[in-house]
Amino acid sequence: MSTVAHLINGEITLRSGRTAQVFNPSIGEPVRQVELADRATIQAAIDSAKAAFPAWRNTPPAKRAQVMFRFKVLLEANKDKIAAMISEEHGKTLEDAVGELQRGIENVEYACGAPELLKGEFNRNAGPNIDSWSDHQPLGVVAGITPFNFPAMVPLWMYPLAIVCGNCFILKPSERDPSSTLFIAQLLCEAGLPNGVLSVINGDKEAVDALIEAPEVKAISFVGSTPIAEYIYTEANRRGKRVQALGGAKNHAVVLPDADIDNTVNALMGAAYGSCGERCMAISVVVAVGDQVADTLVAKLTPKIQALKIGAGTSCGLDMGPLVTGAARDKVKGYVDAGVAQGATLVVDGRGLVVPGNEAGFFLGGSLFDHVTTEMSIYQEEIFGPVLCIVRVGSLEEAMQLINDHEYGNGTCIFTRDGEAARLFCDEIEVGMVGVNVPLPVPVAYHSFGGWKRSLFGDLHAYGPDGVRFYTKRKTITQRWPQRASHEAAQFAFPSNG
């Protein structure tokens, strides 16, 4: 069985000897293993990043961007190969894997604008014969820790931008589906990135803790579950690092009585069951305003959920693949059991699904609950699987209160034809990313991505303009060149333009 290794100083290398199994969830069997880095491996990556930083910091932004232009071309040329790698280890469908890669490539395109993004600000005559400007300088060695559910896209949220800003980056991807992430990093090396500017270290908590504790690592971007996000934010912050830690979610879709119901149902199907519900922006709760809306949604969603085409992600034309691991499948199944025990109405039960030819795969069918209430665990907790819950309320205000009271605030959306209601919703909902008739309002690469409340720890969102701010520190320079002949007296009052 082959072993997925690390990328350090431009070389693929194995070091620690400690490994974990990587599964193909569609067949339920391990297909390779991945090495789990020890502290010495992390230190080797840090040393190579530190060595590469002075030259990379001083490389003109336009030259850094040229590497990204070549990277984009290589990503596009290898699209199908990457999608197959994602699908084999994650389980998502090939079409979904291509979609994730495309959204990642859009972040590379944004990073190609480095000379414009890093231009800074200039003021002539900020005072008499005094000029002032702000410069955005790189932080040094920075790290990213990423989740299993977007092995291509989420790393691409981070390192293209960090690198064009002049930093050296150490990526610790998910140990559950590491192959596509490593291959993509190799493409960046092939595009001409100097050795040491990007390292990929596979590993688990030991690798993460070594990155948190290393004084050379100046900033950490994290995407994953809320308990780990909070842990990394607290521990790294305590050591003086800059941190953005994006966590879990419970995304609500509000459906008003005037919504275009057929389009809403189709939008909900994709947003709830796409990628088997393993998206941080997946819709997992529908808040139906009025019983008539709820009854219609149940009637229209039920046959569509029962007709979901489910099978090995690597086959074409499917709606859904398996869950990522056996443990993930069992956890989701446990939530369905809990929903039944706590009194919700299980309208569609996905627990018994068997995929012929893939009997050992980690599959679950789509499930639908109606009459879900706020004290149930299926409402409160992130299920991260193909389970949709319907909560019935009497008004838009009640729906909004529900969402604002929830501990998570990643994404939400509203389906309506009423502009006034939509505007109120956008204004007052306490969630970071909001859709109006858009079920997955994932911001495009030139905005920034992030939730509120316990969906994000830190101040700045991921990628886009916030990403540039996160990966640079501002330096403001005030300069004057006194005339040789002039004689200037000492000034004891605070200098001002007054």
Which residues of this protein are in contact with ligand NAD, per CB under 6 A?
145-150, 154, 172, 174-175, 204-205, 208, 223-225, 228, 246-249, 280, 382, 384, 410, 451, 455
Q: Tell me how far apart the alpha carbons of residues 6 and 363 are, in angstroms, rounded to a whole number.
A: 30
Residue number, 61 or 411, with CB nearest to ligand NAD = 411
Q: Residues 6 or more apart from 202 whose CB is under 8 A from it?
A: 4, 5, 6, 34, 35, 36, 37, 172, 173, 175, 178, 182
Spacing of C-alpha 139 from chain mean position: 22
The least CB distance from residue 279 to ligand NAD, in Å, is 7
Residue 24 pairs in a beta bridge with: 29
3-state secondary structure of 136: strand
The least CB distance from residue 56 to ligand NAD, in Å, is 25
The least CB distance from residue 207 to ligand NAD, in Å, is 8
Residue number, 135 or 235, with CB nearest to ligand NAD = 235
3-state secondary structure of 483: coil
Which residue's C-beta sits nearest to ligand NAD?
224
Catalytic residue (choose from 280, 316, 413, 426): 280
3-state secondary structure of 18: coil
Residue number, 174 or 367, with CB nearest to ligand NAD = 174
Residue number, 147 or 366, with CB nearest to ligand NAD = 147
Structure tokens at 38: 């020890």
The least CB distance from residue 208 to ligand NAD, in Å, is 4
Helix runs in 386-481, H state only? 396-405, 419-428, 464-470
The least CB distance from residue 147 to ligand NAD, in Å, is 3
The least CB distance from residue 159 to ligand NAD, in Å, is 14
Q: What is the 3-state secondary structure (H, E, C) of 366-421?
A: CEEEECCCCCCHHHHCCCCCCEEEEEEECCHHHHHHHHHHCCEECEEEEECCCHHH
CB of 199 within 8 A of CB of 173?
A: no
Residue number, 281 or 347, with CB nearest to ligand NAD = 281
- 90, with CB counted inside 10 A (0-12, 13-18, 19+), is buried
Inter-CA distances, 60 with 66, 170, 185, 189, Å: 10, 21, 22, 18
Indicate the residue type of 237. Answer: N
Residue number, 100 or 370, with CB nearest to ligand NAD = 100
CB of 184 within 8 A of CB of 83?
A: no
280 is catalytic: yes
Catalytic residues: 280
